Amino acid sequence: MNKIKIVLVDDHRLFLDGIKSLLSEVDFIDIIGEASSGNEALDLLSNIKPDIIMMDISMKGLSGIDVSKEITKLYPDIKIMILSMHTNEEFVINAIKAGAKGYLSKDTSKEELLDAIQIIQEGGECYSKLISENFLKSYVKKYKAEQSLIENKILTQREIEILKLAVHGLSNKEIADKLFISTKTVDSHKNNIMQKLKLKNTAEMVLYAVKNKLIEI
């Protein structure tokens, strides 16, 4: 059986040494490199080619998301695995969009970590139990909040959709392009939302969306 070649990337030396020590004891894993920053990781990959690169999200300089985008573009055969303390929905979704095949919490068990490495090496995707549970809870919470607004005839499904995109910072044109409607229609929906909810500006829209569990900070 060929060993799985892994590069580790983390700007916390203690954690990097700890994970290196843990994985070095595993007979099917070969740690072929390590880096303490995103830039250092990209430099390293110009000389060595691991099967999997395992890295943190929050690092000085380039983030794990930025590095993932570059690796996906430059080295599509390298599988990306995120190991981070950040387990909220936004971080996970951004990592997946950037090309990550796995996302585990740093407090995951050794057994779960090794299982994830093997799953990802074989072409699968893997997310820690904690992250999966958080996703499910978040989805259910948002779904119930949206259904309540619709059932009580406070907002329509389309208005909720536009409200969520607007509070995430998308312009009218970006919303229009995303939903395949005109900017005039978007503007009309936003005016209706403001009138229905008695809101004055975007800041109040954001506050409303957070209070009513339509989005998370």
> What domains can be seen in the chain, in order of their start residue?
4-132 (3.40.50.2300), 154-211 (1.10.10.10)
pLDDT confidence tier of residue 193, bands split at 50, 70 and 90: very high
Backbone Cα Rg of the chain: 21
The predicted model gives 27-45 an average pLDDT of 94
Nearest to 21 by CA among 81, 108, 110, 84: 110
Given a contact cutoff of 8 angstroms between Cβ atoms, the answer to whether 85 and 105 are in contact is yes
The pLDDT of residue 66: 92
The predicted model gives 105-111 an average pLDDT of 89
Q: State yes or no: pLDDT of 88 exceeds 80.
A: no
Q: State yes or no: pLDDT of 1 exceeds 70.
A: no
For the entire predicted model, the pTM comes to 0.65
Q: State yes or no: pLDDT of 216 exceeds 70.
A: no
The pLDDT of residue 136: 61
Distance of alpha carbon 159 from the chain centroid: 25
Q: State yes or no: pLDDT of 89 exceeds 80.
A: no
Q: State yes or no: pLDDT of 141 exceeds 90.
A: no
In the numeric block, which tokens belong to residue 119?
């799953």
Q: Which residue has the higher pLDDT, 148 or 90?
A: 148
**Percent of the chain at pLDDT above 90?**
57
Kind and range of the H or E element at 111?
A: helix 110-121
Given a contact cutoff of 8 angstroms between Cβ atoms, the answer to whether 79 and 51 are in contact is yes
β-sheet with 29-35: strand ranges across: 29-35, 4-9, 52-55, 79-84, 102-105, 126-127
Q: State yes or no: pLDDT of 4 exceeds 90.
A: yes
pLDDT confidence tier of residue 21, bands split at 50, 70 and 90: very high
- pLDDT (tens digit per residue) in 51-78: 999 999 988 888 899 999 999 999 999 9
pLDDT confidence tier of residue 169, bands split at 50, 70 and 90: confident
Given a contact cutoff of 8 angstroms between Cβ atoms, the answer to whether 89 and 138 are in contact is yes
How would DSSP label each residue in 57-108? S--SSS-HHHHHHHHHHH-TTSEEEEEES--SHHHHHHHHHTT-SEEEETT-
Kind and range of the H or E element at 19?
A: helix 13-24
The predicted model gives 31-53 an average pLDDT of 94
Place of tokens 């919490």: 105
The pLDDT of residue 78: 96
The pLDDT of residue 217: 57
Taking the C-alpha atoms of residue 31 and residue 116, their distance in angstroms, rounded to an integer, is 16
The pLDDT of residue 149: 87
Nearest to 57 by CA among 70, 38, 72, 74: 38
